Amino acid sequence: MGFEGGFFVYAAVVLVALVSTVVSIGLTIAIIIPFVGTLTLLRANYLPMAVSLDNVLLDGREDELEQRSVLRSMFLRAQRSSAKIGPVVRGVFPMMARVRRLEGWRGLYKGSTVLAVGGFITAIPTILVAIYSARSGNFGRDEQYTAFSPFRTMVSKVILAMVSLPFDVVLKRTIVHPRRLDWFKFRSSLREILCKEEYEQPWRLYLLPGVVPALLLRVAVIEYATMAIGFVIFNDWIPDEPGLTDPNKDDFHGRTSESTMSAMFGYTLLLLWCMAIQFAVVPLECITVRLTTQRPVDQQPLHIAFAQQAQPEGPSAVSHQATAAPPQEVRATREPEPFTDEAEEDSETAPALGEHDTETCITVEEDARMTEPVIALRPCDEPDNNAEAFFGASPVERYTGIVDCFQKMVAEEGYETSPSP
């Protein structure tokens, strides 16, 4: 192949890859990002169990509950454990309606800029692989993709997951942030969601407790295992299409009753695997969201903007108490240090604890409309600090890993929190 022919092949491959990347990212932002943001909000919503009047009346009546029917006892126990502190939103579409009511349509598209930038950067390895395939002359050959290499597949998926991890952390924190960030002011927005150490040393995002193990476990269980099982099923139980056994022979093979039963068994096994894997995937996704959205150490609380707003007299819609909770003192574990940017001499320092960043805040009209946060983030200050007057939840200890996160979610919020949608 001459120079001109090879150049046109490379140019065509790059153009097709870029166009497909732009189209896929556009469709993702337009259709998928509202659902991704809603699921992230549902999984990050902190709903600790509360003591209600029903719980007090049911104490000491365990024997009476056991004498009733099993179904009725299950409903009573579920009702007993349903008392929560915070905004109880059940389902994707009710959460969408809540976001629309509190933040408007733009709230449903939080993180669109981060998703677009991350999509373009993570698409670079795919484009390089396409260029390499075109250069080696294997582009478009079926036999190139029929062979399954476990090591190569695992390495490629791990590399892609590790490259996308910082963008995933920034995306999830942007979605749960109570204010809409202006990502055209890049540094100011990063200061809102990252602590001082993470801002100056981005590699510290890989040291977040339990995030990398959860990511590797997700790659191994969801992507790698499903791909391997699908490859085995499609090669062993699902026969090829009818046709000649060999181009140089006259033998013709077609489907028989045995091959049809084998194909049905293969499809059924793959479907059962995809259904069974959800019992491991959904809790793992909830744990990953909690670990990535956990407030960094010594960073101002994300809901501090709402804590300083004057509460109206009467019942409080935020804390779900009979009267509005009195303002309480909020102090950090140590005095927050301002951010400094060594690259520019005229860089601005970070906002002090409890102050708004005027560059990243939304407009005054939108800020006045937001009377409460969409969700309640887990207050992970040190236990000796005073309780922050957000939704009335007391400070708790931080998550230290996957197992610790799961145990604390069950202990604080109940088993119904882990399998959230």
Residue 84 three-state SS: strand
Tell me how far apart the alpha carbons of residues 391 and 389 are, in angstroms, rounded to a whole number. 6
Per residue in 293-342, pLDDT (tens digit) is 987 665 555 544 444 443 444 444 444 433 334 444 444 444 444 444 44
Which band of pLDDT confidence, cut at 50, 70 and 90, is reported for residue 371?
low
Q: What is the pLDDT of residue 292?
A: 92
CA dihedral angle for residue 25, residue 31, residue 35, residue 38, rounded to 10 degrees: 90
Closest CA to 281 of 225, 212, 208, 209: 225
pLDDT the model gives residue 281:
86
Q: Which is higher by pLDDT, 263 or 22?
A: 22
Q: Return d(Cα 305, Cα 364) in angstroms, integer.
A: 13
Q: What values do phi and psi take at 345, rounded to 5?
A: -80, -30
Q: Regarding predicted confidence, which is higher, 350 or 61?
A: 61
Provide the pLDDT confidence category of residue 171 given band limits of 50, 70 and 90. Answer: very high
The residues, any chain, with a CB within 8 Å of residue 350's CB and separated by 6 or more, are 191, 196, 336, 338, 339, 357
Tens of pLDDT, residues 76-133? 455 555 677 878 888 899 999 999 998 888 889 998 888 888 888 877 776 676 666 5
Sequence-ordered alpha helix ranges (H) in 104-239: 112-122, 124-136, 143-146, 150-176, 186-193, 196-200, 211-218, 225-236
pLDDT in tens, 201-247: 999 999 999 999 999 988 888 777 777 777 777 665 555 555 444 55
> What would the pLDDT profile of 32-45 be if each residue is shown by its tens digit?
899 999 999 999 99
Give the other-Cβ count within 10 Å of 192's Cβ.
22
Q: Which residues of 93-105 are buried (b: 16+ CB within 10 A; e: fewer)?
A: eebbebbeebbee
* 53-91: pLDDT as tens digits: 555 444 455 555 455 555 555 444 555 556 778 788 888
Checking if the pLDDT of 15 tops 70, the result is yes
